[in-house]
Amino acid sequence: MIYNEDLEKNLNICVASKNGRTDDLVKWYDAISKANLCEREEYQKKTELLLLNSLFAHYPDIEIENLTGESPDFIINYKGKQIGIEVSEVINHLELKKKESYINHIFRTVEKLLTEYKSLYGIYHLNIDYTQDDFYQQPEQLIKEISSAITNNKKTKLVKHIRRTPHQRGVLLFLEYRFSLFDELHSDKILEVIEKKNTKYPLYNSKAKECWLVLVSNMHNIASRYSYIHAKEELKKVKSPFTKILHLENLYSQMMVIK
């Protein structure tokens, strides 16, 4: 199921991060909207664009020449060279992917309920125990408690803590990121994505002389989060036809050059 509200939330959080390419990001996002793509293609393209937000912080001279192509996802111009960009999200917790869709649906519902109250505008990070089974069996109660917690700025049975930062474009809800010493991203998961993309490289290379693979851990999604990369040294042994392979995370915009 496609939730366009999730895209708007991700765009807003990228704009709020103020990485220096905000105007360009909004311009490219709007250009995709006007490209007459089908709903699923438009959703996919916007998702891929927003995943690249951290890349623009590290490569501020990048200009996107082709926003709507396929294989590779984008054609960019960087220092006078045409380069293909293939982007992929690294999923760390596959078992949480379906649960995350449920949580996002709840959050978007609450955001709509509170959007008329300008005094409540802000980005809210909520500490909620989403690991308990009954969390997924009482959506109406959850909507009610989250709305109450934000409106009254008080914790409830389900909402343990609220952290708010200023935002002028509405109410945005996120799960608070709780670091765990055991929340590892194993290098094998990164290598699996690289190997999968390697098999499709001839498709990418036919449209650009140079092609980069950009892997992103979307730290705003619980399915992608991690605290550290296990066996990182294994990534140095990677063999790939891609000219450059990067791993990015979009919480602190950290970048690791794999190749």
Q: Which two tokens stand for residue 25?
A: 């990001």
For 137, the token pair is 């069996």
Distance of CA 160 to the CA centre of its chain: 25
Reported pTM? 0.86
Residue 173 near residue 13 (C-beta atoms within 8 A): no
Following DSSP, what letter does each residue of 103-115 receive, concatenated? Answer: HHHHHHHHHHHHT
Identify which of 114, 112, 179, 116 has the alpha carbon closest to the alpha carbon of residue 153. 114
Instruction: Say if CB 221 and CB 189 are below 8 A apart.
Output: no
**Could you list the pLDDT tens digit for every one of the 259 residues in the chain?**
455 677 887 888 888 776 668 889 999 999 999 999 998 899 999 999 999 999 998 999 999 999 998 899 999 999 999 999 999 999 998 888 888 888 888 999 999 999 999 999 999 999 988 877 777 888 898 999 999 999 999 988 888 899 998 888 889 998 887 666 558 999 999 999 999 999 999 988 888 889 999 999 998 888 899 989 999 999 999 999 999 999 999 888 899 999 9
Beta-carbon neighbour count of residue 204 at 10 Å? 22
Distance CA 62, CA 24 (A): 10
pLDDT value at residue 180? 60
- Which pLDDT value is given to residue 20? 62
pLDDT at residue 117 in the model: 92
